[in-house]
């Protein structure tokens, strides 16, 4: 057990500890918790959408509220639920997997988290201050520039804050992986999850600035009277679509690649077999990322870009099927000849393969531009991306939660409840979304507040809504499982699965503050498995026991984030009343002042002393 | 692992002698990768809108090469002086480093002064503003974001120079100076693109 | 497309629709039963891609099932350590190469059809209609014919009709699933596409780009009639006399009220550049009130009395003087008598219920 957690602490002290922490594991846990919270919000919004669509011409919610609901559902799920939870895994697992004691920029890492959290809170506060954004999560101009009220302003500021936070996280992971790999941990010995963290971080780095620019243009048009999207003054609304999708398509891979990484850890562990075609998996990851930047305009086939552009982007899109196919077949080949143990974590991974394959199939179908003229902006697209994002990313997150729960929280989740949750969610998922492929082709565009009577869309929508409730039930069982495990679960061993392959399973569950008392010597891919096969129970140390240097905690990331949070209100409301500029400046002073303090005040960190380490158990 | 930050003579590059230094160095390069996409997006937006004058003044009417040429010289020179400063840092000569960084800051300030003059000139003499047309919005946003980067760089440099004036060079602050210098070069490169894409292309077409 | 594809198509349409769904949606709304040039091309590519993808899925599913069943951990052999296989070059090349081939098989016909559908060679010699998307209705202006209409687009069957699509406000998207794929209506540029209906009929059209609260209520129709009927319709529409007095007294009063309340500021009757609101020429033959309601007088009265309750966020609400129910009924009576052509939705076979 770590030094910190052996001492009994009061609530205030724990709160302060989390507010000031720069420990990547605690930050990871906070990402997971915040992501889960937003996941529930987004889920409730999804249920409201499905209730509205349970029957034709329903009036459960009004048209305006419906548009707010779909916008917040999409934005919340992508930016505030899926991505943060994946960042949580990256924080919690990646440094352990490469044999590092810390990340390269612990302070920045913490700042990234708080910016994301306050960005998410900011956007959701719009519900209470005059209405949420209502132009869809894609916020197409000029609907977004002309949307009345402040909903879209909250959208802009919320995404701007959390986007900056995510960018910081990405840079931190990149530098960590390049510079902090432990002794013997060469690039081609890195676990696949670390690889996908690396590649997803590259995507974050090069994709998010495009969104930042798009949001600035939208912000300037809405708040300061510029004319980027104002056709009367020569503006062009298609620019927004380009910028949004230059970010938006890589964003899909920012989500799915880490999920691929999670499956690439789970499938070998529970097949007791090394990952088949490791190098081609790494290569395919890079190829998907590269192609992911080349295909943004396949979201814009009906914009009128012309046949040449449509053809190029169609072929590029289809090409992504090749590296994705390589991955699917490698996972199958990993299981082939193995000894497959099916528990909850593995069940989610097994459920993923056929579900995601369907999503991939419809992806290629959507890439065929001629056919996309029919699919585009219908429920077919809704079905497709939910197969990819739920069937891929959410399944990945749930698989990862079962798999690494003991490493994060020291307890193994209950298996029975895990399986019940899986089957409820899995059945509900297919029930909800499979039928939507057909609804789309039968003439139901997406973002429809009502569908009309007698248009042959009633049964399909009813089935879809029923499925959504199954998914909700599955989620509730999972929550009960968490509560039950926290209260009753038994303490987990270092390697609770017995077949762990990577470094995180060589240390205690949960990991101590400094991760590794002595940095381990890595002798190949799957280093812990290698030691176990050689009859060793733990890793061979690569260094003598010595003092460990650790970064100091700081409250400044919270203060900086709050500064920007306050300034955001200034930005939003100065449109109505210029005296809000005071709030804007006050927020900026807090934020920039804190940054200055950080910059000018020396922080050399602290040491955990050798003598204290010797007292700790392994 | 020692965490003594004093400078010993055998250290060749004090900016990259510590773990923190290496992290900062690499992290800044990655950050500049993201910044490149940021400016590329602004450039693309500008290129798409540069003829959308909505009846207002066009680039040919507005731009004058003399002013922009002087600004270019100032900023390019400031990049050069920051190279001298880093050279002296590697020789562990703190005073000369501060001196050359001081000159860098002054040149940057000069650039900024001219830019402010340029914007005021357009606004008062041509009534060409951020709100005049899509071209106006795109111009002020692209050039303004660059200017904003210059302001940030100058504040950063000033803070560093004042903070460390009495402390001398150490392994703790050398990486900070070094990352600033790389950032400053980046701003310079962006300006070269602005000079070409905005001003030169704006004069001819 | 080639002969084999036609056969495959029939086979697939049968099995695919029969197994998965009892019906493939409402006739003249669904994209799965194409009756126009663009929809047919899209369907061809859809079927080709579904065939390829289903084959891939079946292969994945078979390998997956065998792997999970055959290689499950056996009771009593929990300590068994399988052989740690690094990879297999032959296999890896196979499952890289085959998808590349499949991508080519799909990409080539896709590109051919993309260019085919973007072909504007016949645009000059064909009927051209300027289509304008508005919150939340569609305006149609027949080029060179001085005919403007709204919501119902009349086209001759078997002919390419070129549409110059644009928006007056936010982005909309023009979609008639049974006849053709969609094209966005952007505020800054005109997008051109053609539609060609193979059969006479009234086809549902939908807006397919989020455009505000009433996005889902922005329906329209394409009425495909025979060439003779279309010519007749053009003739009728050109000869509309907007000043014409209705026969009965109630409708006459309605006409006076229509004028007194300045409805013409937005709604033209007859050919007119006014397009603030829908052009109401030939209103008696409209397939729907406000694009979505049964074309009855009661519905029209409801609309005139309180459009907000029918289409939230519409631009009519609050922009005209308050009218009593009595007045609204008279106006409705007047509009319902604006029967300017004998060519109507019934000529095209009527609306499918």
> Which stretches in chain C have pLDDT values below 50?
1, 22
CA A261 to mean position of chain CA atoms: 13
Residue C172 within any structural domain of the chain: yes
How far, in Å, CA of A218 to CA of A234, rounded? Answer: 15
Shared domain for C197 and C336, answered yes or no, is yes
Nearest to A341 among C38, C73, C177 (CB): C73
What are B51-72's pLDDT values in tens digits? 999 988 999 999 988 999 999 9
Q: How far is A88 from chain B (nearest CA, A)?
A: 20
A215 has a pLDDT exceeding 70: yes
How far, in Å, CA of C151 to CA of C131, rounded? Answer: 10
Q: What is the DSSP letter of A601?
A: S
Shared domain for C104 and C212, answered yes or no, is no
Chain A residue nearest residue B43, CA to CA: A213
Q: Considering only CA atoms, which of C221, C163, C209 is closest in space to residue C28?
A: C221
A447 vs A82, A273, A451, CA distance in Å?
21, 45, 10
Chain A residue nearest residue B22, CA to CA: A179
A601 has a pLDDT exceeding 80: yes
How far, in Å, CA of B72 to CA of C170, rounded? Answer: 42
Q: How far is C164 from chain A (nearest CA, A)?
A: 11
Q: What is the pLDDT of residue C1?
A: 45
How far, in Å, CA of A346 to CA of A399, rounded? Answer: 7
pLDDT tier, A618 (very low <50, low <70, confident <90, very high otherwise): low
Residue C335 within any structural domain of the chain: yes
Residues in C touching A370 (Cβ below 8 Å): 41-42, 44-45, 110, 113-114, 117, 181
Query: Chain B interface, mutation test: which of A107, A170, A209, A547, most B Cβ atoms within 10 Å?
Result: A209
Say whether residue C106 is in contact with chain A using an 8 A CB cutoff: yes
A604 has a pLDDT exceeding 70: yes
Q: Is the peptide bond before A510 cis (omega within 30 degrees of 0)?
A: yes
Query: Chain A interface, mutation test: which of B18, B19, B20, B23, most A Cβ atoms within 10 Å?
Result: B23
- C335 Cβ contact list (under 8 Å, min separation 6): C254, C258, C280, C283, C284, C300
B4 has a pLDDT exceeding 70: no
How far, in Å, CA of C177 to CA of C227, rounded? Answer: 22
Residue C122 within any structural domain of the chain: no
Number of domains in chain C: 2
A4 has a pLDDT exceeding 50: no
How far, in Å, CA of C293 to CA of C283, rounded? Answer: 14
Residue A328 within any structural domain of the chain: yes
Q: β-pairing, C220-225 with C152-156?
A: parallel
A5 has a pLDDT exceeding 50: no
Residue C123 within any structural domain of the chain: no
Residues in B touching A607 (Cβ below 8 Å): 3
Q: What is the pLDDT of residue A10?
A: 86
Q: 38-77 in B: which are within 8 Å (CB) of A? A: 38, 41-42, 44-45, 48-49, 52-54
3-state DSSP call for residue A104?
A: coil
Tell me whether residues C204 and A322 touch, CB distance under 8 A: no
Q: What is the pLDDT of residue B15?
A: 84
Residues in A touching C21 (Cβ below 8 Å): 438
A vs C, Cβ pairs < 8 A, gives: 301
How far, in Å, CA of C211 to CA of A30, rounded? Answer: 37
Q: What is the pLDDT of residue B17?
A: 85
Strand partners, C153: C222
Shared domain for A593 and A459, answered yes or no, is no
Residues in C touching A364 (Cβ below 8 Å): 49, 52-53, 103, 106
Tell me whether residues B137 and A216 touch, CB distance under 8 A: no
Say whether residue A172 is in contact with chain B using an 8 A CB cutoff: yes
pLDDT tier, A493 (very low <50, low <70, confident <90, very high otherwise): very high
Tell me whether residues A336 and C32 touch, CB distance under 8 A: no
Number of domains in chain A: 2
Q: What is the pLDDT of residue B204?
A: 83
Q: β-pairing, C137-142 with C127-134?
A: antiparallel
Tell me whether residues C216 and A447 touch, CB distance under 8 A: yes
Q: β-pairing, C137-142 with A548-550?
A: unpaired
Shared domain for A324 and A434, answered yes or no, is yes
Q: What is the pLDDT of residue A1?
A: 37
Mean pLDDT of A301-330: 96
Nearest to C210 among A62, A143, A357 (CB): A143
A344-367 helix and A307-319 helix, angle to the nearest 10 degrees: 150
Shared domain for C83 and C170, answered yes or no, is no
A483 has a pLDDT exceeding 80: yes
Q: What is the DSSP letter of C266?
A: T
Tell me whether residues A206 and B33 touch, CB distance under 8 A: yes
A445 has a pLDDT exceeding 50: yes
Q: What is the pLDDT of residue A2?
A: 43
Residue B39 tokens, joined:
């400016």
Chain B residue nearest residue A202, CA to CA: B30
Q: How far is A470 from chain C (nearest CA, A)?
A: 21
Residues in C touching A140 (Cβ below 8 Å): 170-171, 209-210
Residue A505 within any structural domain of the chain: no
Helices (H) then strands (E): counts for chain A? 23, 2
CA angle C130, A445, A156 (to 5 degrees): 90
Residues in B touching A546 (Cβ below 8 Å): 1
- A516 Cβ contact list (under 8 Å, min separation 6): A99, A101, A182, A507
Chain B residue nearest residue A104, CA to CA: B23
Mean pLDDT of A6-25: 88
Residue C260 tokens, joined:
């007194």
Nearest to A179 among B26, B34, B159 (CB): B26
A471 has a pLDDT exceeding 70: yes
Q: Considering only CA atoms, which of A13, A19, A12 is closest in space to residue A556?
A: A19
Mean pLDDT of B97-104: 97
Residues in A touching B54 (Cβ below 8 Å): 227, 232-234
Q: 7-36 in B: which are within 8 Å (CB) of A? A: 19, 22-23, 26-27, 30-31, 33-35
Tell me whether residues C68 and A310 touch, CB distance under 8 A: no
A40 has a pLDDT exceeding 50: yes
B98 vs A574, B73, B178, CA distance in Å?
41, 22, 12
For residue C38, what is the domain's CATH number? Answer: 1.10.287.90
Tell me whether residues A278 and C86 touch, CB distance under 8 A: yes
**Domain hosting residue C229, numbered range:** 128-353
Q: How far is A598 from chain B (nearest CA, A)?
A: 12
Tell me whether residues B172 and A602 touch, CB distance under 8 A: yes
Say whether residue A111 is in contact with chain B using an 8 A CB cutoff: no
Q: Considering only CA atoms, which of C151, C101, C106 is closest in space to residue A372?
A: C106
- Radius of gyration of chain B from its Cα atoms, rounded to whole angstroms: 20
What are A166-209's pLDDT values in tens digits? 999 999 999 999 999 999 999 999 999 999 999 999 999 999 99
Chain C residue nearest residue A318, CA to CA: C103
Mean pLDDT of A551-561: 96
How far, in Å, CA of A458 to CA of A58, rounded? Answer: 11
Shared domain for C286 and C345, answered yes or no, is yes
Nearest to B135 among A216, A220, A234 (CB): A234
A415-441 helix and A379-388 helix, angle to the nearest 10 degrees: 150
Is the pLDDT higher at A10 or at C228?
Answer: C228
Task: Provide the strand spans (E) within A470-610.
Answer: 548-550, 606-608
Say whether residue C55 is in contact with chain A using an 8 A CB cutoff: no
pLDDT tier, A229 (very low <50, low <70, confident <90, very high otherwise): very high
Q: What is the pLDDT of residue A354?
A: 96
Shared domain for C138 and C225, answered yes or no, is yes
Shared domain for A439 and A297, answered yes or no, is yes
Nearest 10 degrees: CA dihedral of C44, C47, C50, C54? -140
Query: Chain C interface, mutation test: which of A66, A228, A321, A373, most C Cβ atoms within 10 Å?
Result: A373
Shared domain for A464 and A342, answered yes or no, is yes
A3 has a pLDDT exceeding 50: no
Chain A residue nearest residue B26, CA to CA: A175
- A605 Cβ contact list (under 8 Å, min separation 6): A549, A550, A551, A552, B3
A613 has a pLDDT exceeding 90: no
Shared domain for C103 and C182, answered yes or no, is no
**Polymer length in residues for chain C:** 353
Shared domain for C165 and C95, answered yes or no, is no
Mean pLDDT of A526-544: 93
Q: What is the DSSP letter of C55?
A: H
HEC per residue, chain B: CCCCCCCCCCCCCHHHCCHHHHHHHHHHHHHHHHHHHHHHHHHHHHHHHCCCCCCCCCHHHHCCHHHHHHHHHHHHHHHHHHHHHHHHHHCCCHHHHHHHHHHHHHHHHHHHHHHHHHHHHHHHHHCCCCCCCHHHHHHHHHHHHHHHHHHHHHHHHHHHHHHHCCCCCCCCCHHHHHHHHHHHHHHHHHHHHHHHHHHHHHHHC
Q: Considering only CA atoms, which of A222, A107, A104 is closest in space to residue A160?
A: A222
How far, in Å, CA of A316 to CA of A296, rounded? Answer: 10
How far, in Å, CA of A208 to CA of B38, rounded? Answer: 9
**Domain hosting residue A137, numbered range:** 19-500
Q: What is the pLDDT of residue B67?
A: 93
Outline where A300-343 has alpha helix (H): 307-319, 321-335
How far, in Å, CA of A551 to CA of C109, rounded? Answer: 59
Q: How far is A381 from chain C (nearest CA, A)?
A: 12
Is the pLDDT higher at C20 or at A253?
Answer: A253
Q: What is the pLDDT of residue A233?
A: 95
Q: What is the pLDDT of residue C8?
A: 66
Q: Considering only CA atoms, which of C201, C149, C141, C147 is closest in space to residue C165?
A: C141
DSSP one-letter string for A105-153: -HHHHHHHHHHHHHHHHHHHHTTTTT----STTTT-TTHHHH--SSHHH
For residue C299, what is the domain's CATH number? Answer: 2.60.40.420
What are C219-269's pLDDT values in tens digits? 999 999 999 999 999 999 999 988 888 888 999 999 999 999 999 999 999
Mean pLDDT of A86-91: 98
Residue A579 tokens, joined:
């005296």
Residue that finishes a domain, picked among C117, C139, C168: C117
A446 has a pLDDT exceeding 90: yes
Query: Chain B interface, mutation test: which of A145, A212, A213, most B Cβ atoms within 10 Å?
Result: A213
Lowest mean pLDDT among A333-337, B11-15, B156-160: B11-15
3-state DSSP call for residue A448?
A: coil
Residue A336 tokens, joined:
């082939």
Q: Considering only CA atoms, which of C113, C103, C119, C52 is closest in space to residue A370?
A: C113
CA C276 to mean position of chain CA atoms: 22
Superfamily the domain B20-50+59-204 falls into: Cytochrome c oxidase, subunit III, four-helix bundle (1.20.120.80)
Shared domain for C212 and C291, answered yes or no, is yes
Say whether residue A544 is in contact with chain B using an 8 A CB cutoff: no
């Amino acid at each position: 057990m770590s030094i910190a957690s052996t001492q009994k602490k009061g609530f205030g002290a724990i709160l302060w500890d989390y507010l000031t922490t720069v420990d990547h594991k605690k930050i990871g846990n906070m990402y997971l918790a915040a992501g889960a919270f937003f996941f529930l919000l987004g889920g409730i919004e999804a249920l409201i959408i499905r209730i509205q669509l349970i029957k034709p011409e329903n009036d459960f919610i009004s048209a305006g509220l419906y548009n707010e609901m779909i916008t917040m559902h999409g934005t919340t799920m992508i930016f505030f639920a899926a991505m943060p939870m994946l960042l949580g895994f990256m924080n919690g697992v990646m440094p352990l997997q490469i044999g590092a004691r810390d990340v390269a920029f612990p302070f920045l890492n913490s700042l990234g988290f708080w910016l994301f959290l306050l960005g998410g809170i900011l956007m959701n506060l719009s519900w209470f201050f005059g209405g949420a954004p209502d132009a869809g999560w894609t916020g197409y101009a000029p609907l977004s520039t002309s949307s009345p009220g402040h909903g879209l302003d909250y959208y802009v500021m919320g995404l701007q804050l959390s986007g900056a936070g995510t960018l910081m996280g990405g840079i931190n992971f990149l530098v960590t992986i390049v510079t902090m790999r432990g002794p013997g941990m060469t690039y081609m010995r890195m676990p696949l999850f670390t690889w996908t963290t690396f590649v997803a971080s590259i995507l974050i780095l090069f994709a998010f600035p495009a969104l930042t620019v798009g949001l600035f243009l939208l912000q300037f048009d809405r708040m300061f009277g510029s004319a980027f999207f104002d056709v009367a003054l020569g503006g062009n609304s298609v620019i927004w679509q380009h910028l949004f999708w230059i970010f938006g398509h890589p964003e899909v891979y920012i989500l799915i690649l880490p999920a691929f990484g999670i499956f690439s850890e789970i499938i070998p562990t529970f097949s007791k077999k090394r990952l088949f075609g490791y190098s081609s998996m790494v290569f395919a990851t890079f190829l998907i990322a590269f192609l992911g930047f080349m295909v943004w305009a396949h979201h814009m086939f009906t914009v009128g870009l012309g046949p040449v552009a449509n053809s190029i982007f169609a072929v590029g899109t289809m090409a992504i099927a090749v590296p994705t196919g390589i991955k699917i077949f490698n996972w199958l080949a990993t299981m082939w000849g193995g000894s497959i143990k099916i528990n909850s974590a593995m069940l989610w991974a097994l459920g993923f393969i056929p579900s995601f394959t369907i999503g991939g199939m419809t992806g290629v179908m959507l890439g065929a531009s001629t056919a996309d003229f029919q699919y585009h902006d219908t429920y077919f697209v809704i079905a497709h991306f939910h197969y990819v994002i739920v069937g891929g990313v959410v399944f990945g997150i749930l698989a990862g939660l079962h798999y690494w729960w003991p490493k994060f929280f020291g307890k193994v989740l209950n298996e029975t409840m895990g399986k019940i949750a899986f089957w409820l969610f899995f059945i509900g998922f297919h029930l909800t979304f499979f039928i939507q492929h057909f609804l789309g082709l039968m003439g139901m565009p997406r973002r429809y507040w009502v569908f009309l009577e007698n248009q042959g869309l009633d049964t399909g929508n009813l089935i879809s809504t029923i499925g959504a409730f199954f998914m909700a039930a599955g989620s509730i069982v999972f929550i009960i499982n968490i509560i039950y495990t926290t209260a009753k679960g038994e303490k987990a061993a270092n390697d609770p699965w017995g077949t762990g392959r990577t470094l995180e399973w060589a240390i205690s569950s949960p990991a101590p503050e400094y991760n590794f008392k002595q940095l381990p010597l890595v002798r190949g891919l799957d280093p812990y498995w290698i030691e176990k096969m050689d009859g060793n129970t733990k890793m061979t140390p690569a260094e003598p026991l010595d003092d460990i240097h650790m970064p100091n905690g700081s409250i400044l990331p919270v203060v900086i984030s709050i500064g920007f949070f306050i300034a955001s209100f200034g930005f939003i409301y100065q449109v109505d009343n210029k005296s809000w500029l005071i709030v804007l400046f006050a927020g900026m002073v807090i934020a920039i002042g804190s940054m200055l303090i950080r910059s000018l005040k020396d922080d050399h960190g602290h040491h955990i002393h050798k003598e204290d380490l010797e007292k700790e158990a392994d | 692992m020692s965490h003594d930050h004093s400078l010993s003579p055998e250290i060749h590059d004090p900016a990259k002698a510590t773990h923190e230094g290496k992290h900062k160095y690499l992290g800044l390069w990655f950050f500049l990768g993201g910044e490149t996409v940021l400016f590329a997006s602004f450039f693309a937006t500008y290129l798409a809108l540069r003829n959308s004058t909505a009846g207002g003044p066009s680039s040919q009417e507005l731009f004058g090469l003399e002013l922009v040429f002087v600004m270019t010289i100032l900023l390019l020179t400031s990049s050069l002086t920051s190279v001298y400063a880093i050279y002296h840092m590697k020789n562990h000569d703190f005073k000369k480093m501060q001196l050359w960084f001081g000159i860098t800051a002054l040149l940057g300030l000069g650039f900024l002064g001219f830019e402010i003059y340029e914007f005021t000139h357009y606004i008062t003499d041509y009534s060409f503003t951020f709100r005049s047309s899509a071209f106006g919005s795109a111009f002020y946003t692209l050039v303004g974001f660059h200017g904003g980067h210059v302001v940030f760089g100058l504040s950063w440099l000033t803070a560093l120079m004042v903070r460390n004036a009495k402390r001398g060079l150490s392994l703790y602050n050398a990486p900070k100076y070094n990352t600033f210098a790389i950032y400053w070069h980046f701003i310079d490169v962006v300006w070269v693109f602005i000079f070409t894409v905005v001003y030169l292309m704006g004069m001819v077409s | 497309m080639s002969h084999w594809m036609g056969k495959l198509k029939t086979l697939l349409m049968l099995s695919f629709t029969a197994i998965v769904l009892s019906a493939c949606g409402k006739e003249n709304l669904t994209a799965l039963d194409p009756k126009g040039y663009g929809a047919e091309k899209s369907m061809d590519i859809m079927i080709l891609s579904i065939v390829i993808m289903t084959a891939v899925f079946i292969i994945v599913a078979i390998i997956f099932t065998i792997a999970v069943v055959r290689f499950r951990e056996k009771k009593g052999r929990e300590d068994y350590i399988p052989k740690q296989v690094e990879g297999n070059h032959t296999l890896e090349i196979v499952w890289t190469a085959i998808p590349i081939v499949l991508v080519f098989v799909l990409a080539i016909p896709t590109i051919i059809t993309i260019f085919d559908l973007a072909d504007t060679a016949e645009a000059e010699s064909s009927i051209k209609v300027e289509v304008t998307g508005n919150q939340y209705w569609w305006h149609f202006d027949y080029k060179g014919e001085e005919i403007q209409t709204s919501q119902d687009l009349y086209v001759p069957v078997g002919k390419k009709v070129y549409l110059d699509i644009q928006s007056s406000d936010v982005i909309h998207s023009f979609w008639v699933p049974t006849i053709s794929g969609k094209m966005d209506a952007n505020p800054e540029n005109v997008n051109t596409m053609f539609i060609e209906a193979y059969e006479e009929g009234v086809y549902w059209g939908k807006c397919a780009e989020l455009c505000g609260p009433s996005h889902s209520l922005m329906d329209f129709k394409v009425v495909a009639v025979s060439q003779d009927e279309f010519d007749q319709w053009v003739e009728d529409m050109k000869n509309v006399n907007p000043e014409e007095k209705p026969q009965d007294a109630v409708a006459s009063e309605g006409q006076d009220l229509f004028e007194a309340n300045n409805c013409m500021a937005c709604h033209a009757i007859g050919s007119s550049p006014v397009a603030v609101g829908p052009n109401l020429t030939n209103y008696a033959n409209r397939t729907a009130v406000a694009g979505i309601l049964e074309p009855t007088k009661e519905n029209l009265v409801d609309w005139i009395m309180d459009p907000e309750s029918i289409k939230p966020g519409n631009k009519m609400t609050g922009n005209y003087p308050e009218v009593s129910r009595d007045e609204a009924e008279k106006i409705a009576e007047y509009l319902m008598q604006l029967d300017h052509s004998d060519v109507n939705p019934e000529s095209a076979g009527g609306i499918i219920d």
